[in-house]
Amino acid sequence: MSAALAIVAAGFVLALALGLYARSGREMGLEQWTVGGRGFGTAFVFLLMAGEIYTTFTFLGGSGIAYGKGGPAYYILCYTTLAYVTSYWLLPPVWAYAKRHGLYTQPDFFARKYDSPALGMLVALVGIVALVPYMVLQFKGLGIIVSTASYGAISPAVAVWIGAAAVTAYVVVSGVHGSAWTAVLKDISILGVVVFLGLYLPLHYYGGYEALFRAIETERPGFLALPEHGQSPVWFSTTVLLTALGAFMWPHTFASLYTAKDPRAFRRNAAILPLYQLINLFVFMVGFVAVLQVPGLTGPDVDLALFKLSLQSFPPWFVGVIGATGVLTALVPGSMILISGATLIANNLVRPLRPSQDDAATARLCKALVPVIALVCVGFALSGGDTIVQLLLMGYNFVTQLFPCFLASLMRRNPLDRRAAAAGIVAGMATVAVTSLSGLSLSKLAFLGPLQDVNVGVAALAVNLIVTAAVARLPAAQPRPRAAG
Amino acid sequence: MQSIRWLAALPFLGMLVGPFFLNRVEPYILGLPLLLAWLVACVVGTAAVMAVIYVADPENRRPEDRR
| pLDDT tens for each residue of B1-39 | 567 888 888 888 888 888 888 888 888 888 888 889 999
C-alpha to C-alpha distance for A138 and A337, rounded to whole angstroms: 10
Reply yes or no on whether the pLDDT at A112 is more than 70.
yes
Q: A421 CB near a chain B CB, below 8 Å? A: no
pLDDT digit string, tens, across residues A12-24: 888 777 777 766 5
The three-class DSSP label of residue A36 is helix
For all residues of chain A together, what is the average pLDDT?
80
Answer with the residue of higher pLDDT: A256 or A397.
A397
For residue A266, give its domain range: 3-396
Amino acid (1-letter code) at residue A185? L
Contact across the interface for B33 and A96, Cβ inside 8 Å: no
C-alpha to C-alpha distance for A404 and A379, rounded to whole angstroms: 32
Rounded to the nearest angstrom, the minimum Cα separation between B62 and chain A is 10
Percent of chain A with pLDDT over 70: 84
Is A310 a member of any domain? yes
Answer with the residue of higher pLDDT: A406 or A1.
A406
pLDDT digit string, tens, across residues A293-306: 888 887 777 888 88
C-alpha to C-alpha distance for A328 and A447, rounded to whole angstroms: 47
Is A109 a member of any domain? yes
Using pLDDT thresholds of 50, 70 and 90, give the confidence band for residue B44: very high
C-alpha to C-alpha distance for A316 and B43, rounded to whole angstroms: 36
Contact across the interface for A85 and B44, Cβ inside 8 Å: no
CATH at residue A382: 1.20.1730.10
What is the predicted pLDDT for the residue at B41?
92
Contact across the interface for A263 and B53, Cβ inside 8 Å: no
> Which of A246, A288, A223, A241 has its CA nearest to residue A62?
A288
> Which of A246, A230, A175 has its CA nearest to residue A20?
A175
Using pLDDT thresholds of 50, 70 and 90, give the confidence band for residue A484: very low
Answer with the residue of higher pLDDT: A150 or A370.
A370
Cβ contact A118:A292 at 8 Å: no
Q: A96 CB near a chain B CB, below 8 Å? A: yes
Cβ contact A457:A396 at 8 Å: yes
pLDDT digit string, tens, across residues A303-325: 888 888 888 888 888 888 888 88
Is A461 a member of any domain? no
**% helix / strand / coil in chain A, to the nearest 5?**
80, 0, 20
Domain count, chain A: 1
Is A263 a member of any domain? yes
Is A162 a member of any domain? yes
C-alpha to C-alpha distance for B47 and B51, rounded to whole angstroms: 6
Using pLDDT thresholds of 50, 70 and 90, give the confidence band for residue A143: confident
- What pTM, to 2 d.p., does this model score? 0.82
Reported ipTM: 0.89
Least confident of A149-158, A205-214, A444-453: A444-453
Is A416 a member of any domain? no
Rounded to the nearest angstrom, the minimum Cα separation between A214 and chain B is 9
A4-24 as b/e: b if 16+ CB within 10 A: bbebbbebbeebbebbeebbe
From chain B, the residues in CB contact with A240 under 8 A are: 15-16
How far are the Cα atoms of A13, A164, A165, A325, B14 from residue A5, in angstroms, in the given order? 12, 16, 16, 12, 44
Q: From A98, which residue of chain B is nearest by alpha-carbon distance?
A: B67
Question: What is the number of other CB atoms lying within 10 angstroms of the CB of residue A207?
Answer: 10
From chain A, the residues in CB contact with B67 under 8 A are: 92, 96, 263
The three-class DSSP label of residue A155 is coil
| Residue spans of beta strands (DSSP E) within chain B | none
Reply yes or no on whether the pLDDT at B61 is more than 80.
no
The three-class DSSP label of residue A445 is coil
